[in-house]
Amino acid sequence: MLKKIVTRANCPFCIDGVNPGDPPTTCDYCHGLGEYGTFKLTYMCETCEGTGQVGGEDCEVCSGKGYIPVDFKMLEDMVDKVNDIMGKCNDIFEKVNE
């Protein structure tokens, strides 16, 4: 028989853990360079921590991890979302007890 084992799924509520309603924007301080200074001496931009981008709120559902652990109970609780999740699941089915 085929037993369904749900491990984890890409979070359907965000893009790589970032809330799509609040996408990151280019850092104004370093203009997206991630650093500032003269050509001899540069500093990592503290505003964006060297990434050149600021903002990008962590997804509340997955805490910014980009994936969520799921199981059948959870899927049952999220019937309206299940198709969405199933479509994005990694390794959602595992063959056991053949």
In Å, the largest CA–CA distance within the chain is: 67
Interface pick for Zn ion out of 7, 8, 13, 26 (rule CB under 5 A): 13
Q: How far is the CB of 47 from Zn ion (least distance, A)?
A: 4
**Binding to Zn ion by residue 9, rule CB under 5 A?**
no
| Closest CA relative to residue 46, chosen from 58, 55, 36 | 36
Is 48 or 75 the residue whose CB approaches Zn ion more closely? 48
Short-list 43, 49, 57, 60, CA closest to 27: 49
Among 62, 75, 85, 89, binds Zn ion (CB under 5 A): 62
- Out of 27, 75, 85, 89, name the contact with Zn ion by CB under 5 A: 27
23: number of Cβ within 10 Å: 12
Interatomic CA distance for residues 78 and 14, integer angstroms? 16
Contact positions toward Zn ion, by CB under 5 A? 11, 13-14, 27, 29-30, 45, 47-48, 59, 61-62
